[in-house]
Structure 1
């Protein structure tokens, strides 16, 4: 691969901060959930969706597995 034909990108890098869209929450929205190809909704770790595309919340599967492991001991 070569960079010979590549042009310099105009403008600098842009940092976009997303905040939780839950009512009256001002936390950083670190979890983005696509509603459509053009719309992404952002939520903090406390208000993230319980299920998204059939998958559990981030970290929830690990907690459930730890609880089951504790019960088996």
Structure 2
């Protein structure tokens, strides 16, 4: 419909990626460094509707880059 309350949403594709690297610090500490990227192309897309009564069309998530270190002592 014209207000977006009903009808099919177009298909979409996102690009996500992650990299992990495991290593040891000293003799007892295991570590993992990671880098995750979500929606790397930062493409806007129609992801979902809440319900027909509210007629809301929600956009998909924006680009996210997450970096961190996990230590196991």
TM-score (norm 1): 0.21
Normalized per residue, the structure richer in strand is: 2
Normalized per residue, the structure richer in helix is: 1
